[in-house]
Amino acid sequence: MLRLLIRVNVYQQAEHCCEKAVHVNSNDFVSRYGPVALVTGASSGIGQSFAEQLAAMGLDVVLVARRESLLEELASRLRAEHGVEVTVCSADLAEVAATASILDATSGLDIGLVVSNAGYGFKGEHSAMDPAELADMVTVNCTTPMLLTRGFIPRLRARGRGGIIVTSSIEALLGCPYSTAYSSSKAFLNSLGEGLWGELTPEGIDVLTICPGATDTEALRRSGIDPATMNNVMSPDEVVTLTLDNIDNGPTLFPSDHHKAVFDQLLSIPRRDALTAMARGMKVNSVQPN
């Protein structure tokens, strides 16, 4: 078994997951999670797909990301295609103060769904990472989701309904050599999301943490991995559709059945053997950050 696992390349064996059960129809969704949804990391990838699909369901959306021009372009398209209200909130989530600015800018909006999606990572040896870039990554991946959820929970409680979606990663399940900082930050998100699920579900607030496998996004390309060299990578739209269909089926969703099976197999053997297998597979795909 170990010999087989050592040969497993997690990033080259993704396949589309099977369809999960649909728990919420469109009308119920808008009633429970509308009228406004906030999405961080909305300028591309999974975040952009969240914004598009939520707008298509009739929710007004708040778009949060650093690149204002991309947000404005997306906002114009969503207004034209779906007739919804779109608020652009340009913010650098690597700055701790950004969360307070977002909360202030949206204080007059009835936000029923918070999608904490922004995040990124680096591949390569941990000792080669730039300390400042690591600190920024931890702020975006960990500090901002923690403070953002903390800030919106009182507003969701006042409504008596709503939802929180936290975008984590399949890498949260195991410390991943050559992706050490990123996988660590995502493990934090799993604990955050699952803890919030336990606290808020009894109050009518759904919390779902999603752990995608390889997904064709700008963030994946920025980490040095070319999706074109990989087999059966999920699209952002596939990940988001499954997420929205299962928002009330928490605490955790693994969109890719294949990646979940790979990690389950790794976790079924001694930890040191699993990490040895991961190190050999991940090293092939690791790159040093520029």
Q: What is the pLDDT along the chain (290 residues), one digit of tens a residue?
A: 333 333 333 333 333 344 444 445 678 899 999 999 999 999 999 999 999 999 999 999 999 999 999 999 999 999 999 999 999 999 999 999 999 999 999 999 999 999 999 999 988 999 999 999 999 999 999 999 999 999 999 999 999 999 999 999 999 999 999 999 999 999 999 999 999 999 999 999 999 999 998 887 777 666 666 666 666 688 999 999 999 999 999 999 999 887 788 788 888 999 999 899 889 888 766 644 32
Q: How many residues does the chain have?
A: 290
> The CATH number of the domain where 203 resides is what?
3.40.50.720
Is 199 domain-assigned? Answer: yes
Is 149 domain-assigned? Answer: yes
Q: Is 260 a catalytic residue?
A: no
Indicate which residue of 120, 182, 260, 283 is catalytic.
182
Scored b (16 or more CB within 10 A) or e, 59-82 reads: bbbbbbbbeeebbeebbeebeeeb
Q: How far is residue 116's CA from residue 141's CA, in Å, rounded to a whole number?
A: 9
Is 290 domain-assigned? Answer: no
Q: How far is residue 109's CA from residue 9's CA, in Å, rounded to a whole number?
A: 45
Is 265 domain-assigned? Answer: yes
* Residue 121, domain extent: 2-285
Indicate which residue of 20, 186, 260, 283 is catalytic.
186
Q: Is 182 a catalytic residue?
A: yes
Is 258 domain-assigned? Answer: yes
285 by Cβ neighbours in 10 Å (0-12 / 13-18 / 19+) ranks as: buried
Is 53 domain-assigned? Answer: yes
How many structural domains are present in the chain? 1
DSSP bridge partners of 87: 62
Is 176 domain-assigned? Answer: yes
Global pTM value: 0.87
> In the numeric block, which tokens belong to residue 34?
């509308």
Strand order in the sheet with 252-253: 86-90, 60-65, 36-40, 111-116, 162-167, 205-210, 252-253
